[in-house]
Amino acid sequence: MAYLMCYRATTGSPVRSLCARFNKPADLWTSPRSPWFSSWAPSACRSSRRPGHAVSRLWGLTQRAVVRRQTSKPAGGGLKLVVVVGPAFLAVSARLAWRVAYCAADVNNNDVHAGVAAAEPVPEFKWHILWEFVKPQLFALLGAVVLAFAAAVLNIKIPLMLGQLVNIVARYMREHTGNYIQEIRGPALKLLGLYGIQGLLTSGYIILLSRVGERVAADMRKTLFAALLRQDVAFFDANKTGQLVNRLTSDIQEFKSSFKLVISQGLRSLTQTVGCFVSLYIISPKLTGLTVVVLPCLVGAGALIGSFLRKLSRLAQEQVSKATGVADEALGNVRTVKAFAMEDRELQLYAYEVDKSCEMNETLGNGIAVFQGLSNVALNCIVLGTIFAGGSLMAGDEMSPGDLMSFLVASQTVQRSLASISILFGQVVRGLSSGARVFEYMALEPSIQISGGGRIPSHSLTGRIDFMNISFRYPTRPGHQILKGFNLTLPPAKTVAIVGESGGGKSTVAALLERFYDPDNGVIMLDGLDIQTLDLSWLRGQVIGFINQEPVLFGSSVMENIRFGKPEATDAEVIDAAKQANAHRFITSFPDGYSTVVGERGVTLSGGQKQRIAIARALIKNPSILVLDEATSALDAESERVVQEALDRATKGRTVLIIAHRLSTIQGADLICVMSNGRIVEAGTHLELLGRGGLYSDLIRRQRAEAKK
Ligand SMILES: Nc1ncnc2c1ncn2[C@@H]1O[C@H](COP(=O)(O)OP(=O)(O)OP(=O)(O)O)[C@@H](O)[C@H]1O
């Protein structure tokens, strides 16, 4: 730079006016051996606090030293080099470590769930699954690799060409012969061309890589979602929804970022580090030798500090997750919070967690700030040290000014490359962990296959169901036996009700019929066929209609919600099902009729309205078997009447299993079974059971007594 400034002074640039300002003749700049800067720069630097001036001054001092040495004695010892270059490379590692820390801090910007995920045990990374996703993008990926590699190779060439330019300037300063413009034009244009090509290569590989990354991520998301939907209900009992959604979002995002980074930065940094080290060695083996000795210690120190800050970051992140969890729960259950007037308590809880997270993040911020400050000091020392050491070598005629310039640029490139490798390392570890978690779920095979080539009976179903000697425990609670030798027959086109104490296993019977779980022992037969041998999609999609106590609607229109039961249904079929379910009148009373959007989980509808839409959704597929799991127990008397009316109509001609709490709703059932201790202990019609004076009449008595209270 100083040489370039010299040149500008000779050609009447503003540097002349600078010289005039400091009362120095401009020709001081033009003399090859003149201590131009030593006479000019000190006063200039004293009058300016800008670091650029200080560096220029240092350069000037170096020049003066070179002159002195050239006129007195040869350049002195390696000790000076060690003393000077040591701190310089301390700066390299400081910067490196700062980058590691920055990388750790960057984790804060990720999805808060990532912190929770990071704390989980990491499964093994399955490379063959990755290969399946990468294979379709192989050409684009190879293209990106080639372009990235080429861009990196050019980066090695650039410092050497810069050195050539500086040498031309220096020679011209010394000798004042030839045509400067003519001499410098060729190499300068070459360099410009190189910059242009490098820019094009960089854009090219980024475009390709981004395409590959996005497509791989999209394919992974689709495959993972399909894999999750394939899992049986037991899987969802054991895994939180938030955690699963996290796999789809932040884990795949994290993996994609790492994937792109490895190809772009990893490849570039490695090539540049190796290439620039070779360049450094060619320029000055002495300086490079010192680098090789000092660097490992410094990298180690940097990594250590980085890992400490990363730990801090992890803790801070977990605390943010905790705070988010509180907010999530409060907002998700806002009606309950409001009903109990607990807004203030929730706010206090949230504020406590947020304050804690703020404190931790502040500590982390302080750590990073100190580290960054130190590394900035060290970073400036590297320039300082290199100029000192380079000056020393120049004085001994071991280096030209161009070499020093090349060394500076190449060593900066090495710094940058090593810093990005250190970032990359952390990122790759995180990316591999995220990928491993995603692939783990992709590889999971459900114990109950939805479509597995099961049979679909050719005859029309009568709808007879037999539960034969069923034993069952929930997979998540293997120590608790729910059903023990459970036997029950549902005759075709009859209504059977199951009643009994709460937690006795009534809903479990319905869940087994739907094959949400398979029994540990025993078989469930449909028309004499084991349901485990039947096609599950057919069984759930066409044979069994299920209506439960809290129907869940999707946030789409009424029409779409009813059609969910039979995607190919026409509008007329939807309306017909709504009529059967006593829902048509209230739907048409809405301004948008069947196009009314029901809001998240049907929040804009009353309980009775939701239930009737759910009945319509079940009826539209015209199922042979209907399972009603306490379908009216959450409704008020009027809603229950309307819904019951719809149900009475819906159950005609079908085999119906009713799980009931309110015994008044099942008195007309063909068979009432009383469950206790995981098996049927009483069965008969309402009147028969009352006459027996057993458990059923006890239940009736208790409910009547409660109703009178
Ligand atoms: N997904 C599950 N995982 C583990 N245990 C479960 C699960 N679902 C229910 N249980 C347990 O199984 C037992 C029977 O539950 P179930 O819902 O079948 O009873 P229920 O008779 O229908 O009760 P209620 O009348 O109160 O609805 C209970 O002890 C319950 O805690």
The enclosing H or E element of 629 equals: strand 625-629
Six-digit token string for 190 = 């070459």
Q: Which residues pair with 468 in a beta bridge?
A: 523
- Between CA 60 and CA 44 the distance in angstroms is 12
> Do 19 and 49 meet the contact criterion of CB atoms below 8 Å apart?
no
**What would the two tokens of residue 313 be?**
């970051």
> Among 508, 546, 666, which residue has the most ligand 1 atoms within 8 Å of its CB, making it the best to mutate?
508
Q: Among 231, 232, 467, 507, which is best to mutate for testing ligand 1, by the most ligand atoms less than 8 A from CB?
A: 507
Structure tokens at 396: 């001994």
> Ligand 1: which of 473, 482, 499 to mutate, judged by most atoms within 8 Å of the beta carbon?
482
Asked if 654 and 493 count as a contact pair (C-beta separation under 8 A), the reply is yes
| pLDDT for position 1 | 34
Rg of the chain over all Cα atoms, to the nearest angstrom: 39
What is the Cα–Cα distance from 548 to 630, expressed in whole angstroms? Answer: 6
| Residues 292 and 89: beta-carbon distance below 8 Å | no
Kindly give the distance from the C-alpha atom of residue 504 to the centroid of ligand 1, in angstroms, as a whole number: 7
* Beta strands 495-500; 671-676: pairing state: parallel
Q: Which two tokens stand for residue 706?
A: 């409660």
Length of the chain: 709
Burial 567-590 (b: 16+ CB within 10 A, else e): eebeeebbbbbbbbbbbbebbeeb
User: In angstroms, what is the span from residue 652 Cα to ligand 1's centroid?
Assistant: 29
Nearest atom in ligand 1 to 661's CA: 25
Ligand 1 atom with the shortest distance to the CA of 675: 21
503 CA from centroid of ligand 1 (Å): 5
Cβ-contact 618, 546 below 8 angstroms: yes
Q: What is the 3-state secondary structure (H, E, C) of 414-437?
A: HHHHHHHHHHHHHHHHHHHHHHHH
Going by C-alpha positions, the residue among 516, 525, 538, 507 that lies closest to residue 447 is 516
Nearest CA to ligand 1 atom 10: 474
Give one DSSP letter per residue of 136-178, joined into a string.
GGHHHHHHHHHHHHHHHHHHHHHHHHHHHHHHHHHHHHHH--S
For residue 416, report the distance from its CA to the centre of ligand 1, in Å: 60
Are 618 and 646 within 8 A, CB to CB? Answer: no
Q: Is there a contact between 614 and 551 (Cβ–Cβ < 8 Å)?
A: yes
Asked if 517 contacts 475 with a C-beta cutoff of 8 angstroms, the reply is yes
Contact 702, 688 (CB under 8 A): no
Q: Whose CA is nearest to atom 2 of ligand 1?
A: 474
Instruction: Please give the distance, rounded to the nearest whole angstrom, from the Cα atom of residue 463 to the centre of ligand 1.
Output: 26
pLDDT attached to residue 339: 74
Residue 218: the pLDDT is 94
Question: Hunting for tokens 């006479």 — which residue is that?
Answer: 39
**Ligand 1: centre distance to CA 508 (Å):** 6
Distances from the Cα of 38 to the Cαs of 2, 119, 220, 400, in angstroms?
Answer: 12, 59, 63, 19
* Residue whose CA is at the smallest distance from ligand 1 atom 1: 237
CA of 501 to the centre of ligand 1 (A): 11
The answer to whether the CB of 125 falls within 8 A of the CB of 158 is no
Instruction: Say how many Å lie between the CA of residue 483 and the centre of ligand 1.
Output: 11
Single-letter amino acid code for the residue at 159: P
Q: Give the pocket of ligand 1 (CB within 6 Å).
A: 237, 474, 476-477, 482, 502-508, 661
- Cα 607 to ligand 1 centre (Å): 23
Question: What is the number of other CB atoms lying within 10 angstroms of the CB of residue 604?
Answer: 15
Q: Answer whether 306's CB lies under 8 Å from 422's CB.
A: yes
- Using CA atoms, how far apart are residues 276 and 195, in angstroms rounded to an integer? 17
Pairing of strands 625-629, 544-548: parallel
pLDDT per residue as tens digits for the range 616-656: 888 888 888 999 887 766 566 666 777 777 777 778 888 99
DSSP state of 597: B
Residue with the smallest CA separation from ligand 1 atom 17 is 507
- Give the whole-angstrom CA distance, residue 425 versus residue 322: 28
pLDDT tens digit sequence for 494-519: 999 999 888 888 889 999 998 999 99
Would you say 118 and 108 are in contact if contact means Cβ atoms under 8 Å apart? no
End-to-end CA distance of the chain: 95
580, 649 Cβ separation under 8 angstroms: yes
Q: Show Cβ contacts of residue 661 under 8 Å, excluding neighbours closer than 6 positions.
A: 499, 502, 630, 633
Which ligand 1 atom sits closest to the C-alpha of 511? 18
How many Cα atoms are found within 13 Å in the side-chain-facing hemisphere of 154? Answer: 19
Tokens of 647: 């149900």
Give me ligand 1 centre to Cα 677, in Å: 12
Report whether 547 contacts 494 (CB < 8 A): no
Q: Spell out the residues 6+ positions from residue 47 whose beta carbon is closer than 8 angstroms to its own.
A: none
Query: For a substitution probing ligand 1, which of 471, 506, 633, 665 has the most ligand atoms within 8 Å of its CB?
Result: 506
How many angstroms separate the alpha carbon of residue 326 from the centre of ligand 1? Answer: 27
Atom 18 (ligand 1) nearest CA = 505
How many other β-carbons are positioned within 10 Å of the β-carbon of residue 647?
A: 25
Tokens, residue 438: 């995603």
Nearest-10 Cα torsion for 315, 320, 326, 327: 180
Q: Are 420 and 269 in contact (CB under 8 A)?
A: yes
CA atoms within 13 A on the CB side of 207: 8
User: What pLDDT, in 10s, does the model give residues 372-423?
Assistant: 777 677 667 776 777 777 788 888 888 888 888 888 888 877 777 777 777 7
The segments of the chain whose pLDDT lies below 70 read 1-122, 290-303, 375, 378-379, 383, 450-453, 632-639, 707-709
| Nearest alpha carbon, ligand 1 atom 23 | 503
Please state the atom number of ligand 1 nearest to the C-alpha of residue 500: 21
CA of 648 to the centre of ligand 1 (A): 27
Protein residue with its CA nearest to atom 7 in ligand 1:
474
Strand ranges in 479-579 using DSSP code E only, listed in sequence order: 481-490, 495-500, 521-526, 529-530, 544-548
Closest-CA residue, ligand 1 atom 9, reads 508
* Beta-carbon-side half-sphere exposure of residue 701 (alpha carbons within 13 Å): 9
| The dihedral sign for the CA sequence 239, 245, 250, 253 | positive
Q: Which amino acid is at 427?
A: Q
Tell me, in angstroms, the distance from the centre of ligand 1 to residue 634's CA.
17
Give residue 608 CA to ligand 1 midpoint distance, Å.
Answer: 24
* pLDDT, tens digit (0-9, with 9 covering 90-100), for 304-360: 777 788 788 878 878 887 888 888 888 877 777 877 778 888 899 999 999 998 998
Q: Which atom of ligand 1 is nearest to the CA of 237?
A: 1
